[in-house]
Amino acid sequence: GEDVEQSLFLSVREGDSSVINCTYTDSSSTYLYWYKQEPGAGLQLLTYIFSNMDMKQDQRLTVLLNKKDKHLSLRIADTQTGDSAIYFCADLMNSGGYQKVTFGIGTKLQVIP
């Protein structure tokens, strides 16, 4: 079955860059996503990348995709305390007429002032 793996915890100093990594197993993934979840809140779609792209940049966010190694990363430049949250890597598969998103366990980002 599909599997998405990511590290559990990352701590960075305010102003530094954060890099959150993720690996996935499903080679038929069409989209890969990064979602942000703050305490007690739902999921906020941060950014996404289509599976035929290598990189996507969106303001402070850079997504890199290595399709050969099934590796996805999210880089947050100039990390701020407001970036402290849990970040979920997820992949979308269109299968048998429906969409299924498989999430990783989430990486908790702690930003130290």
Partner 1 sequence: DAGVTQSPTHLIKTRGQHVTLRCSPISGHKSVSWYQQVLGQGPQFIFQYYEKEERGRGNFPDRFSARQFPNYSSELNVNALLLGDSALYLCASSLMGWDPTNEKLFFGSGTQLSVL
Using CB under 8 A, list all residues that contact partner 1. Answer: 4, 30-31, 33, 35, 41-45, 48, 50, 88, 90, 92, 94-106
Tokens 């079955």 locate to 1
DSSP string of 52-68? T-SEEEETTEEEEEETT
Of the two residues 35 and 109, which places its CB atom closer to partner 1 in the complex?
35
* Distance in Å, CB of 97 to partner 1, minimum: 5
* Distance in Å, CB of 112 to partner 1, minimum: 22
Of 85, 8, 107, the residue nearest 40 (C-alpha):
85
Number of Cβ within 10 Å of residue 10's Cβ equals 18
Of the two residues 82 and 97, which places its CB atom closer to partner 1 in the complex?
97
* Distance in Å, CB of 28 to partner 1, minimum: 13
* Distance in Å, CB of 103 to partner 1, minimum: 3
* Contacts of 7 by beta carbon, 8 Å cutoff, 6+ apart: 20, 21, 107
Of the two residues 95 and 110, which places its CB atom closer to partner 1 in the complex?
95
Of the two residues 55 and 77, which places its CB atom closer to partner 1 in the complex?
55
Pair type for strands 55-58 and 61-66: antiparallel
